[in-house]
Structure 1
Protein backbone atom coordinates (compact mmCIF):
# COMPACT_ATOMS: atom_id res chain seq x y z
CA UNK A 1 0.00 0.00 0.00
CA UNK A 2 2.80 2.43 0.97
CA UNK A 3 4.60 1.71 -2.31
CA UNK A 4 1.51 2.55 -4.38
CA UNK A 5 0.94 5.75 -2.39
CA UNK A 6 4.59 6.79 -2.81
CA UNK A 7 4.49 6.12 -6.55
CA UNK A 8 1.21 7.99 -6.89
CA UNK A 9 2.92 11.00 -5.32
CA UNK A 10 6.16 10.71 -7.28
CA UNK A 11 4.55 10.67 -10.74
CA UNK A 12 2.83 14.09 -10.49
CA UNK A 13 5.82 15.51 -8.62
CA UNK A 14 8.14 14.47 -11.43
CA UNK A 15 5.86 16.10 -13.99
CA UNK A 16 5.88 19.39 -12.07
CA UNK A 17 9.64 19.41 -11.43
CA UNK A 18 10.91 18.10 -14.77
CA UNK A 19 8.15 19.06 -17.26
CA UNK A 20 8.92 15.86 -19.19
CA UNK A 21 8.57 15.49 -22.94
CA UNK A 22 7.87 11.81 -23.62
CA UNK A 23 8.08 10.40 -27.14
CA UNK A 24 7.36 6.93 -28.46
CA UNK A 25 5.69 5.44 -25.38
CA UNK A 26 3.66 3.23 -27.73
CA UNK A 27 6.85 1.30 -28.55
CA UNK A 28 6.88 -0.25 -25.06
CA UNK A 29 4.97 -3.58 -24.94
CA UNK A 30 2.35 -3.39 -22.19
CA UNK A 31 2.86 -6.99 -21.10
CA UNK A 32 5.45 -9.73 -21.27
CA UNK A 33 9.20 -9.45 -20.67
CA UNK A 34 10.98 -6.44 -22.13
CA UNK A 35 14.38 -4.82 -21.64
CA UNK A 36 14.49 -1.03 -21.42
CA UNK A 37 18.04 -0.07 -22.50
CA UNK A 38 18.90 3.59 -21.94
CA UNK A 39 21.80 5.99 -22.06
CA UNK A 40 23.06 7.23 -18.69
CA UNK A 41 23.72 10.90 -17.96
CA UNK A 42 22.59 11.27 -14.35
CA UNK A 43 21.73 9.40 -11.15
CA UNK A 44 18.19 10.61 -11.88
CA UNK A 45 17.81 8.44 -15.01
CA UNK A 46 16.85 5.27 -13.13
CA UNK A 47 14.08 7.19 -11.34
CA UNK A 48 12.73 9.16 -14.29
CA UNK A 49 12.40 6.22 -16.69
CA UNK A 50 10.17 4.03 -14.47
CA UNK A 51 7.91 7.01 -13.71
CA UNK A 52 7.41 7.85 -17.40
CA UNK A 53 7.25 4.34 -18.89
CA UNK A 54 3.68 3.01 -19.40
CA UNK A 55 4.39 0.00 -17.14
CA UNK A 56 6.55 -0.71 -14.07
CA UNK A 57 10.27 -1.06 -14.80
CA UNK A 58 12.77 -2.68 -12.44
CA UNK A 59 16.27 -1.21 -12.26
CA UNK A 60 19.10 -2.50 -10.08
CA UNK A 61 20.29 -0.42 -7.12
CA UNK A 62 23.04 -0.98 -4.56
CA UNK A 63 21.66 -2.84 -1.56
CA UNK A 64 23.15 -0.25 0.79
CA UNK A 65 20.47 2.19 -0.37
CA UNK A 66 17.85 -0.17 1.09
CA UNK A 67 19.56 -0.63 4.47
CA UNK A 68 20.49 2.91 5.53
CA UNK A 69 19.23 3.77 9.02
CA UNK A 70 17.10 6.72 10.06
CA UNK A 71 14.74 8.98 8.16
CA UNK A 72 17.06 9.33 5.17
CA UNK A 73 17.25 5.58 4.87
CA UNK A 74 13.48 5.26 5.11
CA UNK A 75 12.95 7.85 2.37
CA UNK A 76 15.58 6.21 0.15
CA UNK A 77 14.07 2.75 0.65
CA UNK A 78 10.51 3.96 0.03
CA UNK A 79 11.45 5.87 -3.13
CA UNK A 80 13.49 3.02 -4.61
CA UNK A 81 10.76 0.51 -3.87
CA UNK A 82 8.14 2.82 -5.40
CA UNK A 83 10.01 2.94 -8.72
CA UNK A 84 10.60 -0.82 -8.73
CA UNK A 85 14.31 -0.87 -7.92
CA UNK A 86 15.84 -4.27 -7.13
CA UNK A 87 18.65 -4.45 -4.51
CA UNK A 88 21.95 -6.06 -5.51
CA UNK A 89 25.26 -6.40 -3.62
CA UNK A 90 28.13 -4.12 -4.48
CA UNK A 91 31.30 -5.76 -5.77
CA UNK A 92 33.23 -7.04 -8.74
CA UNK A 93 32.75 -10.07 -11.03
CA UNK A 94 30.70 -12.25 -8.70
CA UNK A 95 28.30 -9.40 -7.91
CA UNK A 96 28.03 -8.53 -11.62
CA UNK A 97 27.08 -12.11 -12.41
CA UNK A 98 24.54 -12.10 -9.58
CA UNK A 99 23.08 -8.87 -10.98
CA UNK A 100 22.55 -10.47 -14.39
CA UNK A 101 20.89 -13.50 -12.80
CA UNK A 102 18.60 -11.19 -10.81
CA UNK A 103 17.72 -9.31 -13.99
CA UNK A 104 17.05 -12.55 -15.86
CA UNK A 105 14.67 -13.63 -13.08
CA UNK A 106 12.74 -10.36 -13.50
CA UNK A 107 12.38 -11.02 -17.24
CA UNK A 108 11.40 -14.66 -16.76
CA UNK A 109 8.66 -13.39 -14.47
CA UNK A 110 7.25 -11.47 -17.45
CA UNK A 111 8.27 -8.05 -16.17
CA UNK A 112 10.17 -5.07 -17.61
CA UNK A 113 13.81 -4.61 -16.68
CA UNK A 114 15.81 -1.42 -17.17
CA UNK A 115 19.53 -1.29 -17.81
CA UNK A 116 22.18 1.26 -18.76
CA UNK A 117 24.52 -0.61 -21.14
CA UNK A 118 27.27 1.99 -20.64
CA UNK A 119 27.54 0.71 -17.06
CA UNK A 120 28.08 4.13 -15.49
CA UNK A 121 27.07 7.75 -15.94
CA UNK A 122 28.71 9.70 -18.73
CA UNK A 123 30.60 12.64 -17.26
CA UNK A 124 31.22 14.38 -20.57
CA UNK A 125 27.89 13.84 -22.34
CA UNK A 126 29.22 11.30 -24.84
CA UNK A 127 27.64 7.89 -25.41
CA UNK A 128 30.15 5.22 -24.45
CA UNK A 129 30.59 1.70 -25.79
CA UNK A 130 27.95 -0.67 -24.48
CA UNK A 131 28.83 -3.58 -22.19
CA UNK A 132 27.48 -6.90 -23.38
CA UNK A 133 25.34 -7.72 -20.33
CA UNK A 134 22.32 -6.23 -22.10
CA UNK A 135 22.78 -8.62 -25.02
CA UNK A 136 23.33 -11.57 -22.66
CA UNK A 137 19.94 -10.79 -21.12
CA UNK A 138 18.23 -10.39 -24.49
CA UNK A 139 19.64 -13.63 -25.88
CA UNK A 140 19.05 -15.62 -22.68
CA UNK A 141 15.48 -14.41 -22.16
CA UNK A 142 14.26 -13.82 -25.72
CA UNK A 143 12.87 -10.47 -24.54
CA UNK A 144 12.73 -7.55 -26.97
CA UNK A 145 14.93 -4.55 -26.24
CA UNK A 146 13.42 -1.06 -26.34
CA UNK A 147 16.19 1.55 -26.82
CA UNK A 148 15.67 4.73 -24.82
CA UNK A 149 17.30 8.16 -24.86
CA UNK A 150 17.07 10.38 -21.78
CA UNK A 151 18.05 14.01 -22.34
CA UNK A 152 18.36 16.87 -19.85
CA UNK A 153 18.90 14.88 -16.65
CA UNK A 154 22.57 15.91 -16.63
CA UNK A 155 21.42 19.51 -16.22
CA UNK A 156 18.68 18.70 -13.72
CA UNK A 157 21.02 16.65 -11.52
CA UNK A 158 24.67 16.86 -12.61
CA UNK A 159 27.21 14.32 -11.38
CA UNK A 160 28.03 15.25 -7.78
CA UNK A 161 24.76 17.09 -7.07
CA UNK A 162 22.94 15.66 -4.05
CA UNK A 163 19.45 16.74 -5.14
CA UNK A 164 17.79 17.45 -8.50
CA UNK A 165 16.60 20.91 -9.47
CA UNK A 166 13.65 21.88 -11.65
CA UNK A 167 14.23 21.62 -15.40
CA UNK A 168 12.97 19.97 -18.57
CA UNK A 169 13.68 16.31 -19.32
CA UNK A 170 13.04 14.43 -22.56
CA UNK A 171 12.57 10.66 -22.77
CA UNK A 172 12.44 8.98 -26.19
CA UNK A 173 11.44 5.36 -26.65
CA UNK A 174 12.52 3.67 -29.87
CA UNK A 175 11.15 0.71 -31.78
CA UNK A 176 11.77 -2.67 -30.08
CA UNK A 177 14.75 -4.71 -31.25
CA UNK A 178 14.52 -8.49 -31.31
CA UNK A 179 17.25 -11.08 -31.31
CA UNK A 180 17.10 -14.76 -32.18
CA UNK A 181 18.54 -17.64 -30.10
CA UNK A 182 22.30 -17.29 -29.46
CA UNK A 183 24.36 -19.01 -32.19
CA UNK A 184 27.50 -21.04 -31.64
CA UNK A 185 29.66 -17.90 -31.54
CA UNK A 186 27.87 -16.48 -28.52
CA UNK A 187 30.54 -13.90 -27.62
CA UNK A 188 30.46 -12.42 -31.12
CA UNK A 189 26.66 -12.46 -31.09
CA UNK A 190 26.58 -10.57 -27.79
CA UNK A 191 28.96 -7.94 -29.11
CA UNK A 192 27.01 -7.49 -32.34
CA UNK A 193 23.68 -7.26 -30.49
CA UNK A 194 25.08 -4.74 -28.02
CA UNK A 195 26.45 -2.57 -30.83
CA UNK A 196 23.06 -2.67 -32.54
CA UNK A 197 21.36 -1.54 -29.31
CA UNK A 198 23.87 1.29 -28.80
CA UNK A 199 23.39 2.42 -32.41
CA UNK A 200 19.65 2.69 -31.78
CA UNK A 201 20.20 4.66 -28.55
CA UNK A 202 22.61 7.00 -30.36
CA UNK A 203 20.06 7.63 -33.11
CA UNK A 204 17.51 8.66 -30.46
CA UNK A 205 19.83 10.75 -28.29
CA UNK A 206 22.02 12.42 -30.92
CA UNK A 207 25.00 12.09 -28.57
CA UNK A 208 28.59 12.07 -29.76
CA UNK A 209 29.96 8.52 -29.61
CA UNK A 210 33.00 7.37 -27.63
CA UNK A 211 34.75 4.30 -29.04
CA UNK A 212 35.73 2.90 -25.64
CA UNK A 213 34.12 1.80 -22.37
CA UNK A 214 33.20 4.26 -19.65
CA UNK A 215 34.85 3.78 -16.27
CA UNK A 216 32.61 1.84 -13.92
CA UNK A 217 31.64 3.55 -10.68
CA UNK A 218 29.01 1.22 -9.21
CA UNK A 219 25.25 0.75 -9.51
CA UNK A 220 23.16 2.49 -10.72
Structure 2
Protein backbone atom coordinates (compact mmCIF):
# COMPACT_ATOMS: atom_id res chain seq x y z
CA UNK A 1 0.00 0.00 0.00
CA UNK A 2 2.72 2.49 1.02
CA UNK A 3 4.91 1.52 -1.93
CA UNK A 4 2.03 1.90 -4.36
CA UNK A 5 1.17 5.36 -3.06
CA UNK A 6 4.82 6.47 -3.09
CA UNK A 7 5.36 5.07 -6.59
CA UNK A 8 2.26 6.85 -7.86
CA UNK A 9 3.23 10.20 -6.34
CA UNK A 10 7.02 10.17 -6.75
CA UNK A 11 7.22 8.06 -9.88
CA UNK A 12 4.46 10.00 -11.58
CA UNK A 13 6.07 13.31 -10.69
CA UNK A 14 9.49 12.20 -11.96
CA UNK A 15 8.09 10.99 -15.26
CA UNK A 16 6.05 14.15 -15.71
CA UNK A 17 8.91 16.54 -14.87
CA UNK A 18 11.89 14.76 -16.47
CA UNK A 19 10.24 12.51 -19.11
CA UNK A 20 12.92 9.78 -18.93
CA UNK A 21 13.30 7.67 -22.06
CA UNK A 22 13.55 3.90 -21.74
CA UNK A 23 14.80 1.11 -23.97
CA UNK A 24 14.44 -2.62 -23.27
CA UNK A 25 11.47 -2.68 -20.91
CA UNK A 26 10.51 -6.01 -22.44
CA UNK A 27 13.57 -7.54 -20.76
CA UNK A 28 12.03 -7.11 -17.30
CA UNK A 29 10.05 -10.26 -16.43
CA UNK A 30 6.41 -9.73 -15.56
CA UNK A 31 6.72 -12.22 -12.71
CA UNK A 32 9.45 -13.99 -10.78
CA UNK A 33 12.83 -13.00 -9.37
CA UNK A 34 15.63 -11.14 -11.14
CA UNK A 35 18.65 -9.03 -10.25
CA UNK A 36 18.90 -5.58 -11.83
CA UNK A 37 22.59 -4.63 -12.01
CA UNK A 38 23.08 -0.97 -12.86
CA UNK A 39 25.81 1.60 -13.22
CA UNK A 40 25.59 4.34 -10.60
CA UNK A 41 25.85 7.98 -11.62
CA UNK A 42 23.50 9.78 -9.24
CA UNK A 43 21.53 9.52 -6.01
CA UNK A 44 18.44 9.71 -8.22
CA UNK A 45 19.20 6.40 -9.98
CA UNK A 46 17.29 4.50 -7.29
CA UNK A 47 14.20 6.59 -8.05
CA UNK A 48 14.25 6.87 -11.85
CA UNK A 49 14.58 3.14 -12.45
CA UNK A 50 11.62 2.11 -10.24
CA UNK A 51 9.60 4.99 -11.71
CA UNK A 52 9.60 3.45 -15.19
CA UNK A 53 8.87 -0.14 -14.10
CA UNK A 54 5.53 -1.71 -13.28
CA UNK A 55 7.11 -3.90 -10.60
CA UNK A 56 8.68 -2.99 -7.28
CA UNK A 57 12.48 -2.90 -7.16
CA UNK A 58 14.22 -3.28 -3.81
CA UNK A 59 17.57 -1.55 -3.34
CA UNK A 60 19.93 -1.58 -0.37
CA UNK A 61 20.15 1.71 1.57
CA UNK A 62 22.20 2.87 4.55
CA UNK A 63 20.45 2.08 7.83
CA UNK A 64 21.06 5.67 8.96
CA UNK A 65 18.30 6.76 6.59
CA UNK A 66 15.84 4.74 8.67
CA UNK A 67 17.01 5.53 12.21
CA UNK A 68 17.50 9.30 12.28
CA UNK A 69 15.70 10.93 15.25
CA UNK A 70 12.89 13.46 15.21
CA UNK A 71 10.08 14.23 12.83
CA UNK A 72 12.46 14.67 9.89
CA UNK A 73 14.00 11.28 10.62
CA UNK A 74 10.61 9.58 10.68
CA UNK A 75 9.59 11.22 7.42
CA UNK A 76 12.88 10.19 5.81
CA UNK A 77 12.44 6.61 7.00
CA UNK A 78 8.88 6.50 5.68
CA UNK A 79 10.04 7.89 2.34
CA UNK A 80 12.79 5.30 1.85
CA UNK A 81 10.54 2.43 2.92
CA UNK A 82 7.87 3.71 0.58
CA UNK A 83 10.13 3.69 -2.48
CA UNK A 84 11.38 0.17 -1.82
CA UNK A 85 14.69 0.79 -0.05
CA UNK A 86 15.93 -1.91 2.35
CA UNK A 87 17.95 -0.79 5.42
CA UNK A 88 21.34 -2.45 5.92
CA UNK A 89 24.05 -1.37 8.36
CA UNK A 90 27.02 -0.84 6.06
CA UNK A 91 29.43 0.41 8.73
CA UNK A 92 30.58 -3.01 9.88
CA UNK A 93 33.02 -3.97 7.13
CA UNK A 94 32.71 -7.62 6.06
CA UNK A 95 29.70 -8.13 8.31
CA UNK A 96 27.89 -5.32 6.54
CA UNK A 97 28.60 -6.96 3.19
CA UNK A 98 27.21 -10.25 4.42
CA UNK A 99 24.06 -8.50 5.62
CA UNK A 100 23.54 -6.93 2.20
CA UNK A 101 24.00 -10.27 0.46
CA UNK A 102 21.56 -11.95 2.83
CA UNK A 103 19.03 -9.19 2.21
CA UNK A 104 19.41 -9.59 -1.55
CA UNK A 105 18.91 -13.35 -1.35
CA UNK A 106 15.74 -12.83 0.70
CA UNK A 107 14.33 -10.48 -1.95
CA UNK A 108 15.08 -13.00 -4.70
CA UNK A 109 13.67 -15.95 -2.75
CA UNK A 110 10.44 -14.00 -2.25
CA UNK A 111 10.14 -13.67 -6.03
CA UNK A 112 11.07 -9.97 -6.18
CA UNK A 113 13.37 -7.71 -8.18
CA UNK A 114 16.62 -6.86 -6.41
CA UNK A 115 18.47 -3.75 -7.55
CA UNK A 116 22.21 -3.47 -7.01
CA UNK A 117 25.10 -1.24 -8.09
CA UNK A 118 28.13 -3.50 -8.70
CA UNK A 119 30.53 -0.53 -8.50
CA UNK A 120 29.59 -0.19 -4.83
CA UNK A 121 29.35 3.60 -4.93
CA UNK A 122 28.56 6.41 -7.32
CA UNK A 123 31.04 7.11 -10.10
CA UNK A 124 33.14 10.17 -9.19
CA UNK A 125 33.54 11.31 -12.80
CA UNK A 126 30.93 9.65 -15.00
CA UNK A 127 33.14 6.74 -16.03
CA UNK A 128 32.33 3.09 -15.33
CA UNK A 129 34.46 1.46 -12.66
CA UNK A 130 35.36 -2.12 -11.83
CA UNK A 131 32.55 -4.11 -10.27
CA UNK A 132 32.97 -5.54 -6.80
CA UNK A 133 32.68 -9.35 -6.92
CA UNK A 134 30.90 -9.75 -3.59
CA UNK A 135 27.24 -8.75 -3.63
CA UNK A 136 26.06 -9.12 -7.22
CA UNK A 137 27.77 -12.40 -8.07
CA UNK A 138 27.14 -14.05 -4.73
CA UNK A 139 23.42 -13.30 -4.80
CA UNK A 140 23.21 -14.52 -8.41
CA UNK A 141 25.09 -17.76 -7.76
CA UNK A 142 23.33 -18.48 -4.48
CA UNK A 143 19.89 -18.13 -6.06
CA UNK A 144 20.27 -18.86 -9.77
CA UNK A 145 18.31 -15.70 -10.56
CA UNK A 146 18.94 -14.02 -13.94
CA UNK A 147 20.99 -10.82 -13.95
CA UNK A 148 19.60 -7.96 -16.03
CA UNK A 149 22.20 -5.28 -16.90
CA UNK A 150 20.92 -1.71 -16.72
CA UNK A 151 22.50 1.55 -17.87
CA UNK A 152 21.46 4.90 -16.43
CA UNK A 153 22.17 7.68 -18.93
CA UNK A 154 22.89 11.33 -17.98
CA UNK A 155 21.36 11.15 -14.48
CA UNK A 156 24.50 12.77 -13.06
CA UNK A 157 23.81 15.90 -15.13
CA UNK A 158 20.47 16.55 -13.46
CA UNK A 159 21.95 17.67 -10.16
CA UNK A 160 25.76 17.96 -10.24
CA UNK A 161 27.64 18.49 -6.95
CA UNK A 162 26.99 21.96 -5.57
CA UNK A 163 23.82 22.53 -7.59
CA UNK A 164 20.75 22.90 -5.36
CA UNK A 165 17.98 23.06 -7.95
CA UNK A 166 17.77 20.04 -10.29
CA UNK A 167 18.17 20.68 -13.99
CA UNK A 168 15.11 19.70 -16.02
CA UNK A 169 16.43 17.37 -18.70
CA UNK A 170 15.67 13.90 -20.04
CA UNK A 171 17.75 11.09 -18.54
CA UNK A 172 17.71 7.68 -20.16
CA UNK A 173 17.55 4.05 -19.08
CA UNK A 174 18.72 1.14 -21.22
CA UNK A 175 17.80 -2.34 -20.04
CA UNK A 176 19.72 -5.27 -21.49
CA UNK A 177 18.81 -8.89 -22.02
CA UNK A 178 18.93 -11.20 -18.97
CA UNK A 179 22.20 -13.01 -18.31
CA UNK A 180 21.98 -16.62 -17.14
CA UNK A 181 24.60 -17.75 -14.63
CA UNK A 182 22.69 -20.77 -13.36
CA UNK A 183 25.53 -22.99 -14.61
CA UNK A 184 27.58 -21.61 -11.72
CA UNK A 185 24.86 -21.91 -9.09
CA UNK A 186 26.25 -22.97 -5.72
CA UNK A 187 29.80 -21.90 -6.66
CA UNK A 188 29.57 -18.60 -4.79
CA UNK A 189 32.63 -19.55 -2.74
CA UNK A 190 34.95 -19.57 -5.78
CA UNK A 191 36.53 -16.14 -6.09
CA UNK A 192 37.57 -16.71 -9.71
CA UNK A 193 33.99 -17.52 -10.70
CA UNK A 194 32.74 -14.47 -8.76
CA UNK A 195 35.22 -12.26 -10.62
CA UNK A 196 34.28 -13.72 -14.00
CA UNK A 197 30.54 -13.26 -13.43
CA UNK A 198 31.02 -9.68 -12.24
CA UNK A 199 33.25 -8.76 -15.19
CA UNK A 200 30.74 -10.20 -17.66
CA UNK A 201 27.97 -8.09 -16.17
CA UNK A 202 30.12 -4.95 -16.17
CA UNK A 203 30.99 -5.52 -19.82
CA UNK A 204 27.30 -5.61 -20.71
CA UNK A 205 26.65 -2.43 -18.69
CA UNK A 206 29.53 -0.75 -20.52
CA UNK A 207 28.03 -1.65 -23.90
CA UNK A 208 24.63 -0.32 -22.87
CA UNK A 209 25.91 2.90 -21.29
CA UNK A 210 28.72 3.79 -23.67
CA UNK A 211 30.84 4.80 -20.68
CA UNK A 212 34.60 4.65 -20.60
CA UNK A 213 35.63 1.69 -18.44
CA UNK A 214 38.27 2.08 -15.72
CA UNK A 215 39.72 -1.13 -14.28
CA UNK A 216 39.97 0.12 -10.70
CA UNK A 217 37.38 0.34 -7.94
CA UNK A 218 35.40 3.58 -7.67
CA UNK A 219 36.17 3.79 -3.95
CA UNK A 220 39.91 3.82 -4.73
CA UNK A 221 39.37 6.45 -7.42
CA UNK A 222 37.48 8.65 -4.95
CA UNK A 223 40.31 8.37 -2.42
CA UNK A 224 42.84 9.34 -5.07
CA UNK A 225 40.75 12.32 -6.17
CA UNK A 226 40.48 13.50 -2.54
CA UNK A 227 44.23 13.08 -1.99
CA UNK A 228 45.06 14.98 -5.18
CA UNK A 229 42.72 17.81 -4.16
CA UNK A 230 44.34 17.96 -0.72
CA UNK A 231 47.83 18.10 -2.19
CA UNK A 232 46.77 20.78 -4.62
CA UNK A 233 45.42 22.84 -1.72
CA UNK A 234 48.62 22.43 0.25
CA UNK A 235 50.76 23.47 -2.71
CA UNK A 236 48.69 26.62 -3.31
CA UNK A 237 50.77 29.70 -2.38
CA UNK A 238 49.47 31.89 0.44
CA UNK A 239 47.55 34.92 -0.68
Q: Same fold (TM over 0.5)?
A: yes
| Counterpart check, 1:90 vs 2:58 | no
3-state SS, counterpart of residue 145 of structure 2: coil
- Compute the TM-score of the two structures, normalised by the length of structure 2: 0.84
- Structure 2 equivalent of residue 14 of structure 1: 14
Q: Map residues 3-82 of structure 1 onto 2, 5 A cutoff.
A: 3-82=3-82
Contact 2:142 2:188 in 1 (8 A): no
Q: Which has the larger radius of gyration?
A: 2
CA–CA distance in structure 2, aligned partners of residues 137 and 93 of structure 1: 15
**Deviation string, structure 1 residues 143-190 (Cα, Å, up to 9, x no partner):** 000000001110112245566442211011000001012459821111
1:130: which partner in 2? 131
Contact 1:42 1:159 in 2 (8 A): no
Find 1:144's aligned residue among 143, 146, 154. Answer: 146
Partner of 2:235: none
Residues 4-60 of structure 1: CA deviation (Å, up to 9, x unaligned): 222211121011222100110100111111000000001111121112223110001
The answer to whether the 8 A contact 2:124-2:218 is kept is: no
Matched, 1:114 2:115: yes
Structure 2 Cα separation of the partners of residues 184 and 93 of structure 1: 16
Question: Contact between 2:149 and 2:205, CA under 8 Å: does it hold in 1?
Answer: yes
Q: Tell me, yes or no, if the aligned pair for 1:41 and 1:122 is still in contact at 8 Å.
A: yes
Q: For 1:97 and 1:185, how far apart are their aligned partners in 2?
A: 13
SS in 2 for 1:215: helix
Alpha-carbon offset, residue 141 of structure 1? 0.6
Superposition CA RMSD, Å: 1.9
Whether contact under 8 Å (1:182, 1:189) holds in the other structure is no
Aligned to 1:189: 193
Question: Which structure would you say has the larger RCO, counting Cα contacts within 8 Å and 6 or more residues apart?
Answer: 1
Instruction: Give the unaligned 5+ runs of structure 2.
Output: 223-239
Asked if structure 2 preserves the Cα contact closer than 8 Å seen for 1:43 and 1:159, the reply is no
- Find the partner of 1:168 among 159, 167, 170: 170
Structure 1 length normalisation: TM-score? 0.91
User: In the superposition, relative to structure 1, how do residues 185 and 141 fare at CA in structure 2: closer, same or farther (>3 Å)?
Assistant: closer
The whole-number CA distance in structure 1 between the counterparts of 2:208 and 2:100 is 27
Query: Cα 1:184–1:201, aligned 2, differ >3 Å: closer, same or farther?
Result: closer
Give the C-alpha shift of residue 77 in structure 1. Answer: 2.1
List gaps (5 residues or longer) in structure 1: none
CA contact (8 A) 1:28 1:54 kept: no
SS of match in other structure, 1:36: strand
From the superposition, tell whether residues 104 and 43 of structure 1 become closer, same or farther in structure 2 (CA, over 3 Å).
same
